[in-house]
Amino acid sequence: VTAAGAADAAGAEGTAKATGTPDAARVAGAASKTAAGAAATGAAGAAASASAEAADVGGAADATGTANSARGAGVAGKAGKAAVAPVAKGASARLACTKYHLGCCYIKLDKQEEALSALTEALELARTPSSDECAASILDKAGAILSAKGKHEEALAKLTEALERKRRALGPAHAQVAETLCAIGDARRREGQQDLAIAEYEKALGILRAALGDGHPNLARTHESIAAACLKKGNAERALEEFTTALRIRRVAQGDRHQDTAAAHDNIAAVFHKQGKYDLALSKYNTSLQIRKETLGDNHPDTAQTHNNMGGVYHKLGKHELALAEYATALSVQRATVGWKHADTALTYCNRGVVYCAQGKFEQALAEYEKALQIRIGVLGEEHPSTATTHVNIAALHHRQGDSELALTEYEEALRIQLATVGEEHVDTAATRDSMGIVYWKQGRSKLAIAEHEKALQVRRKLLGDKHPEVAVTLNNLGCVHHRQGQHELALTEYVEALEIQKAALGDWHADTAMTHNNIGVVYTVQGRHELALAEYDKALKIRKAVFGDNSASTAVTRHNMGHTLRSMGQCAKAKEMFTQAARTYAAVYGSDDPRTLEAVRDSRLFAMEEKKNKFFKSKCCSQS
């Protein structure tokens, strides 16, 4: 009987089980963490979405819905256009201004170290009480770069100084003060402190309304940032409201065919992706893609991003070839525009790796992950959260291959980087601990597994609240461990709590909700409560057929489980039918030599042999009488 450990392991796509073959684990690579990146490419994490550095789609998510939400919410990188250039007064100030503009050029070239060096030199020249406005602009840029690099304390120090200087130079109600508040919010969000981030964004929103009016694009940008933080908190409904408000402002202020309007459609799609509303997500992504092609052309990084996001949805639907086609288009555009040594290109390599891993093409997956790792180390450095996420992806791959020691080595390296950059109390760190717990569980080291899951649960409850879907993920994982230990009632308690959270946060018709119904069914089966087990499996099967279609790996898992339960109930014909359907689907998805296919075929054949044996003895008894 197969239970689904709700694995956070990046790209794990089904590595956790209680008593049988794996079920749908959550993709958690390095994707844009569903609408939460700085300049919005990258979760996860999908997320995630859930694509994109998600998911997110849990923790960090590579093939889950990359959103644009923070594009322009701060003052760094692609959002830099809101910053005001320093005013040159005197030779030192003029040199500072030149260094500042040099730093801006490096930012546009994605050369963060060079940018930071130039801005640091500019700051030394401009840091005088008489040049508050000039220094503040430089501090804004430097703080945003440090935040994107995961150096949150340094970033917040720079941004706080920028805020003080702007308030002195411009007054507390100036639009540029709001820009710095947004940048502080971005840093808080990346740090995992979503409530603090929202508080900063809301302060900025009040200032911008008074200074610019309700219909200004800068308000749309701030609504998008609030939405991104809400999505990270698991509040998809408010995220959708904020993104919808942003879209309405952009359509009025900038028109239906503007690139920022396209980004707004992308963001709404990311929420639908996170909610498991894949048809709605694809519709919105298509709208965004059409606008981007019209306004920016086929060969633009933003167009590539939407292709990446659509690939994430197709991956979640199990349509791997369509996902790979979208990623191939994205990669082609990225290599032609930003080059292969770019963080966005690395993200696409990671997403391709997730799909190959799901298909069981482990060598191809590892090659993609290693390309991503090489790029990220070169562009971002070894001590960067995105580099850690790639180690998480590689760990998940080794886990899928059954090499738990190599998996643990990679997870430990990821954890080391995360502890050094984002700290213990961060959602990504919690996701890595959860994934390590799954490996320990598979090794039969239940105490270590429980310890890691409990650390993850504590952090997730603190940062995200008790009703967040990621809390449900960890409860599911704990349930799997306790189930294996024979503590079935404790496992049921954890599964039921997870189910309540998922129904409230994600709805009755979400893939994660189906997974928990499946896990509850596993416990009931082991307890001999077959009618209750069948009822849970039936719920899981209906959801999975609605979400993924009739011939997905997830529906095969549930049919396989139903077969075991029906056999225990003596419903032979129905059991054989379930085994046969499961074997056929596994073969179509994973190939005829995959262990899941072979197990289902074996169950079907063993059942047929038992059936023949029973018929033989029945006929012998009849002839003797």
List pLDDT tens digits, range 287-335. Answer: 999 999 999 999 999 999 999 999 999 999 989 999 999 999 999 999 9
Q: Is residue 362 part of a domain?
A: no
Nearest C-alpha neighbor of 269 from the set 286, 287, 284: 284
| pLDDT on residue 580 | 94
Q: Is residue 29 part of a domain?
A: no
Q: Is residue 187 part of a domain?
A: yes
Domain boundary among 220, 239, 254: 254
pTM, two decimal places? 0.78
Residue 171 buriedness (CB in 10 A; 0-12 / 13-18 / 19+): exposed
Summary mean pLDDT of the chain: 82
Residue 26 banded pLDDT, cuts 50, 70, 90: very low
* Domains contained in the chain, number: 2
Q: What's the CA gap between 311 and 348, in Å, rounded?
A: 10
Domain boundary among 254, 273, 308: 254
pLDDT, tens digit (0-9, with 9 covering 90-100), for 343-377 = 999 999 999 999 999 988 999 999 999 999 999 99
Q: What's the CA gap between 587 and 604, in Å, rounded?
A: 14
Q: Is residue 387 part of a domain?
A: no
Domain that holds residue 239: 83-254
Q: Which residue has the higher pLDDT, 23 or 497?
A: 497
| pLDDT on residue 18 | 29
CB of 373 closer than 8 Å to CB of 29:
no
pLDDT, tens digit (0-9, with 9 covering 90-100), for 49-70 = 323 332 232 233 333 333 343 3
| pLDDT on residue 46 | 27
| pLDDT on residue 477 | 97
Q: What's the CA gap between 523 and 438, in Å, rounded?
A: 18
First to last CA, the chain: 40
Nearby residues of 76 by Cβ (< 8 Å), 6 or more positions away: 38, 39, 107, 140, 141, 143, 144, 145, 147, 148, 183
Q: What is the mean pLDDT of residues 570-590?
A: 91
Q: What's the CA gap between 163 and 393, in Å, rounded?
A: 38
CATH number of the domain where residue 114 is located = 1.25.40.10
Nearest C-alpha neighbor of 236 from the set 213, 258, 267, 259: 267
Q: Is residue 143 part of a domain?
A: yes
| pLDDT on residue 90 | 59
Q: What's the CA gap between 445 and 422, in Å, rounded?
A: 28
Q: Is residue 244 part of a domain?
A: yes
Query: Lowest mean pLDDT: which of 91-100, 169-178, 229-238, 509-518?
Result: 91-100
Q: Is residue 68 part of a domain?
A: no
Q: Is residue 502 part of a domain?
A: no
Which helix (H) or strand (E) is 355 found in, with range? helix 343-358
Tokens describing residue 618: 């029945």
Domain boundary among 206, 232, 254: 254
